[in-house]
Amino acid sequence: MKDLLEYLVRALVDEPDRVTVEQFEEDDGTIVLELAVADDDYGKIIGRGGRTANALRTVVKAAAVKENRRVLVDIVD
């Protein structure tokens, strides 16, 4: 799931080398993916009204369902 998110985001931004995704696991088994991009690329990742961010979360959650896992995508500064 981390690789999927990283692949999708790199295709959207102007500076793909500055994309970082960190993965953590919470006590209840939920996987947290923290996404960070270059300052100028946050608008591209969030999208108008948050549509791009919601689409990214939907795709990653769909991949997590195949593995019977729960996943959260956080966009951090």
pLDDT at 77: 80
The pTM for the full model equals 0.91
pLDDT at 54: 96
Taking each helix axis from N to C terminus, what angle separates 51-66 and 2-12, rounded to the nearest 10 degrees?
150
CATH number at residue 13: 3.30.300.20
77 residues of the chain, pLDDT tens digit each: 899 999 999 999 999 999 999 999 999 989 999 999 999 999 999 999 999 999 999 999 999 999 899 999 999 98
Structural domain range at position 63: 2-75
- Domain count for the chain: 1
Q: How many CA atoms lie within 13 A of 1 on its CB side?
A: 28
pLDDT tens digit sequence for 17-39: 999 999 999 999 899 999 999 99
